Structure 1
Amino acid sequence: MKRLTVAIDGPAGAGKSTVARRVAEELGLLYVDTGAMYRAITWKALQSEIDLSDEQVVAAIAREAEIVLDPPEVLVDGVRVTEAIRSPEVTDHVSMVAGMAEVRRVLVEKQRQMAKDGGVVMDGRDIGTHVMPDADVKVFLTASIEERVRRRHLEMIRRGYASDPDRLYQEIKRRDEMDENRSHSPLKPAADAVMLDTTGRSIDEVVSMILDLCRTKVSGGE
């Protein structure tokens, strides 16, 4: 399975990162968290105190930044930012940054370089439709917004941040609308993606289902 390419897409809170990382570990493949890349650029832009609405300046940061993904660690220009990129401040601004066409162009090129030799599990919002349209296995994870709010609330508490479920509901709803309606690579399932609703399902269940899809692909089944 070393050459297999797996694309896992879905909205905020659907469980993409956790599931994709587990699938990659089980199959011995490289895991690429593209959401962490957009968060890393957002973090660096915030640290630089630039105007986040200036697309060319943010794109320049994306172009020049050295992002290292060593799951679960994330480094930007040699600085460990694993927890920092999950802060509420970064979360509040990442959709705006991710919606910039030039920023996406820069990061998509980096993502394609990571995947060019195969042997990768990549998750995000446009992997199966844009970054790896020829992926061997494409999965679109979803869950009810109530379930996604619950998960994100627990995640924020675990990371030591204050969390208001009502505010999270509005934030996730806003992110969904921004991701689905942006003009560049909007969030949508690829035509040949397998849809998986993770509501009420454990991580182990979802990982097992995706592993079955991968093994079926490798064995030549449909």
Structure 2
Amino acid sequence: MNNITIAIDGFSSTGKSTVAKQLAKHLGYIYVDSGAMYRAVTLFAMQHNFIDAKHFDRETLVAKLAEVTISFTFNPELGFAEVYLNGVNVEKQIRTLEVSSFVSQIATIPEVRSQLVKQQQQMGKDKGVVMDGRDIGTVVFPNAELKIFMTASAETRAQRRFDELVNRGDEVLYKDVLHNVQERDYIDSNRKDSPLVKAEDAIEIDNSNLSLEEQFQKVLALVTNTLQANK
């Protein structure tokens, strides 16, 4: 059976990464969290004081992009690949609400998107890959055999994100998380370069009322049908 490329796009906190990790593990495919790559660049910008609540030194960040190396290393204990920024594990640091508040701004920069898209396409050149993000089915892999677009209400996604942050010990308010989700939705959908849109041939899944298992089984059925069609 031939390997395929699976592109999963959608709004923030729709569970894209969760189902992508499940699929990759089940199929023995490579999993790439493209959003984590943008988060890593955001963390790099924060570490070097290129961006904060008061200013955004976009030109300097672009000039320093050559110094950014992002890689994924599989952690057998966790069952998925963790993100490394210039050789340092930053999996936890990139998941904070502070990084979330800046990542959409970083993702609007054409030079950042161009560099990361090239890396993502290289990672998936041999197929057998599950990649999630905002423009995977429209820009990174427009010829992917299976494209899925995940969605859910902003309130549902904010609650999921809030629970995730609280469970790991972060002190956050639900209203702040909801505001972040809504703000990211607007920026992601309205940026000039590769805005978040559903690919014409993508299959939309609203998981507002689906459990993780129901979501996985629904997506797995789509994968199974696609694999059979591509024998």
3-state SS of the aligned residue for 1:25? helix
Query: How large is the Cα RMSD of the aligned pairs?
Result: 1.5
Q: What does the per-residue CA deviation read over 1:137-194, in whole Å, with 9 as the maximum and x for residues that have no partner?
A: 0000000111101100101101211121112111111110000000000001100000
Q: Which amino acid aligns with 1:155?
A: E
Q: Quick one: which of 153, 171, 180 aligns to 2:189?
A: 180
2:2–2:227 CA contact under 8 A, matched in 1: no
Q: Quick one: which of 134, 149, 171 aligns to 2:180?
A: 171
Cα 1:75–1:167 shift into 2, 3 Å: same
Give TM-score scaled by structure 2 length: 0.91
Structure 2 match to 1:69 = 72
Structure 1 match to 2:77 = none
Q: What does the per-residue CA deviation read over 1:19-73, in whole Å, with 9 as the maximum and x for residues that have no partner?
A: 1111111111000000000000111111112257333432344433221112341
**1:2: how far off?**
6.0
Structure 2 match to 1:157 = 166
Structure 1 match to 2:36 = 36
Confirm or deny that 1:114 pairs with 2:117.
no
Q: What does the per-residue CA deviation read over 1:125-144, in whole Å, with 9 as the maximum and x for residues that have no partner?
A: 00001110000100000001
Confirm or deny that 1:92 pairs with 2:123.
no
1: distance between equivalents of 2:64 and 2:93?
17
> 1:178-217 maps to which residues of 2 (within 5 A)?
178-217=187-226
Structure 1 match to 2:76 = none
Structure 2 match to 1:132 = 141
1:139–1:194 CA contact under 8 A, matched in 2: yes
Cα 1:59–1:208 shift into 2, 3 Å: farther
1: distance between equivalents of 2:43 and 2:103?
8
Unpaired runs of at least 5, structure 2: 74-79
Cα 1:24–1:61 shift into 2, 3 Å: farther
2: distance between equivalents of 1:58 and 1:119?
33
2: distance between equivalents of 1:158 and 1:2?
40
Q: Which amino acid aligns with 1:50?
A: F
Q: Quick one: which of 123, 145, 154 aligns to 1:145?
A: 154
Give TM-score scaled by structure 1 length: 0.95
2:97–2:177 CA contact under 8 A, matched in 1: no
3-state SS of the aligned residue for 2:72? strand
1: distance between equivalents of 2:115 and 2:218?
33
2:4–2:127 CA contact under 8 A, matched in 1: yes
2: distance between equivalents of 1:28 and 1:83?
25
3-state SS of the aligned residue for 1:187? coil
Structure 1 match to 2:15 = 15
| Overall identity of the aligned pairs, in % | 43
2: distance between equivalents of 1:61 and 1:6?
32
2:100–2:180 CA contact under 8 A, matched in 1: no
Unpaired runs of at least 5, structure 1: none
3-state SS of the aligned residue for 2:112? helix
**1:79: how far off?**
0.7
2: distance between equivalents of 1:85 and 1:62?
17
